[in-house]
Amino acid sequence: MPSTQPLIKDLATIVLAALMSLFLVPLIAWSFIRHALPPAAARLDAEPFTTLWQFQVVGQVSGLALISGVGILAVICALAIAAFRNRRTQYVSFVIGWRLLTAFCALEVLVQGVLLVWLAFWLTAFFGNVYYPKLIGIAAILAALGVFYTIVCIFKPVPQTMNVEGETIDASNASELWARIRDLSAKAGTTPPDHIIAGIDTNFFVTESPLRVQERVLNGRSLFVSLPLLRLLDREESNAVLMHELAHFRGGDTTNSAMLGPKLVQYDFYCAMMQEAGTTILVFYVLRLYRVIFEFALKRDSRDREFIADRAAATLVSSQGIIRALIKIGAYAHYRNVIEERLFAETGPHNAQIGIADRIAHGLLPYAESAEFLDAMQASSIPHPFDSHPALSDRMRNVGYEVSASDYRHIVTRSVQSTWISDIQNADTIEQSLWSVYEQQFATAHEQQLAYQYLPATEAERAIVLKYFPPVEFVLKGDRPLVISYEGLMLPKESALLSWDQVADMTYKSGEWGSDSLVITHPEKGRFGAKTTKVSLAGIGKQEPQLRGALGQYWQRHQIMRKSVDS
């Protein structure tokens, strides 16, 4: 049974992190000034650029930063309320929120950067009568980089075309299907799609956003149909599902998604960049807080639109058809997930022809008779705040046709006499081609996972590990080689391999003028605590990013492998 506890915990964590990022640095600065500056001195008319003037100005800036933090939280709450009202205010809320928050974040990084630089000098000077130029310089550089990065990322282009695995269906290859889609569109009171795309995903969908299908960009209205599901659904059930999708066109859902979607992608891309850069992490949580709240509003609206589309399908086709289709689609999706999880859990590599489609076709009916299937379908009836689709039980009540859980298996196992798949002349060829590509990708992803899990214990396993984790050599100053392999590290001037089991932790330290070093902590204890080895990386130069990446990747592989082998 899905639980809301992780969601509530995550939201609470984001709120706490947002509060700290907004108020911690300004509060430290404001409190320090209150402590260091007597009340009488705070009211004096100080000469510009004197020490007293500095304290007064920073006191005002920190106070304004605290007030602006409260203000931006109030704005986020107001925008969230607007997002929950209706679709129009939802769109306006996001556009305003996106522009306002990115501008605020750039200003926040600048202000808090200035406060940190100022504190880097005055905290040590006031309490210890000493200051550290290096500390001040580092703070200034990080602040400048943060401001620069925050502004530059606003204008960074984001790819907006969604890739879809499938093939377009022309009227010449499926004239009856196209005719049926046009008839259903007319009945729904909407313009038919410009494109029909056939694929092997476990869903149907419509969109007005640009799609890239086999290097071809499709603009306008697109309808995606699932070939495996068209084989499973009878014509009435397919008609109901297609009517449901066409109702999204009629309701303006796809138009709204085409307008809002690119902005959501751009916002999420910006958030990811703010998270990845350490100098801007303090504003990430503010951006994330608004995005999480907006997601609640977005999903609630999506569930409402699903109800409307279900009612259209029930009224214009049949309530029985749409509910039976939902049950069958749910059964197929559940079982396909079961099959793929089992295949991915296997400890040996797969060849390119796994036969996923055949496994599903032969095992779906027995699965529908099992208690596992009933448990999975009942679990899908439990609502969740982040679900974009309503629970199955709610969708049944919405169209006035309820089916007991005990009857699910009869619906799935019922013999189907006629389907729309027969009206797509090249359906078998398309489906076979798509499954072939998908299974190759599946086998590759599985093999990559095995490369992380194998010890290796055999030559075959070693070949797989070496395929993805070959030895990597970095040449340091004086032609000293540093070699990283799946087995461990061959350090400069050392003749014996340092195995990963002899490494408890690693810290990469960037020094001045390129004198970087790697500090390796060992599991055993030394004379004064944990035993460590310091490796000079002089001469690493432009190889630094590659070295950091390799160290992290190979160290992560060892940890995953050790956990897999020891479990």
What local confidence, expressed as pLDDT, does residue 3 receive? 43
The answer, yes or no, to whether residue 527 has pLDDT greater than 80, is no
**Residue 222 belongs to a domain:** yes
Decide: residue 109, CB within 10 A, 0-12 exposed, 13-18 middle, 19+ buried. Answer: buried
Same domain, 143 and 173: no
What local confidence, expressed as pLDDT, does residue 386 receive? 47
Same domain, 172 and 130: no
What local confidence, expressed as pLDDT, does residue 259 receive? 85
- What are 527's two structure tokens? 């004379």
What local confidence, expressed as pLDDT, does residue 385 receive? 45
The answer, yes or no, to whether residue 74 has pLDDT greater than 70, is yes
With contact defined as beta carbons under 8 Å apart, do 412 and 365 qualify?
Answer: yes
Same domain, 90 and 46: yes
Domain boundary among 419, 446, 473: 446
Q: Give the length of the chain.
A: 567
**Residue 474 belongs to a domain:** yes
352 compared with 477, residue with greater pLDDT = 477
Query: What range defines the domain where residue 108 resides?
Result: 5-154
Domain boundary among 446, 473, 504: 446
Same domain, 9 and 132: yes
Same domain, 128 and 198: no
Alpha-carbon distance 30 to 267, whole Å? 32
Average pLDDT for residues 215-220, to the nearest whole number?
Answer: 91
Same domain, 132 and 186: no
Which range of 50-54, 238-242, 304-308, 511-515 scores highest in mean pLDDT? It is: 238-242
Instruction: Provide the whole-model pTM.
Output: 0.83
The lowest-confidence range among 172-186, 318-332, 365-379, 513-527 is 513-527
What local confidence, expressed as pLDDT, does residue 390 receive? 86
Same domain, 470 and 533: yes
Same domain, 146 and 18: yes
**Residue 207 belongs to a domain:** yes
The half-sphere exposure of 240 on its side-chain side, counting CA atoms within 13 A, is 24
Averaged pLDDT of the chain: 89
Domain boundary among 384, 411, 446: 446
For residue 67, the surrounding DSSP H or E stretch is helix 51-85
Q: With b meaning 16 or more CB within 10 Å and e meaning fewer, what string describes 243-280?
A: bbbbbbbbbebbebbeebbebbebbeebbebbeeeebb
**Residue 328 belongs to a domain:** yes
For residue 535, what is the domain's CATH number? 2.30.29.30
Same domain, 225 and 351: yes
**Residue 278 belongs to a domain:** no
Residue in 104, 105, 115 with CA at minimum distance from that of residue 142: 115
**Residue 275 belongs to a domain:** no
**Residue 161 belongs to a domain:** no
The answer, yes or no, to whether residue 142 has pLDDT greater than 60, is yes
**Residue 406 belongs to a domain:** yes
- The total number of structural domains in the chain stands at 3
Same domain, 149 and 173: no
Alpha-carbon distance 225 to 77, whole Å? 39
Same domain, 26 and 175: no
Same domain, 112 and 193: no
The answer, yes or no, to whether residue 161 has pLDDT greater than 80, is no
The lowest-confidence range among 148-162, 199-213, 373-387 is 373-387
Predicted confidence band of residue 51 (pLDDT cuts 50, 70, 90): confident
| pLDDT, tens only, 444-473 | 999 999 999 999 999 999 999 999 999 999
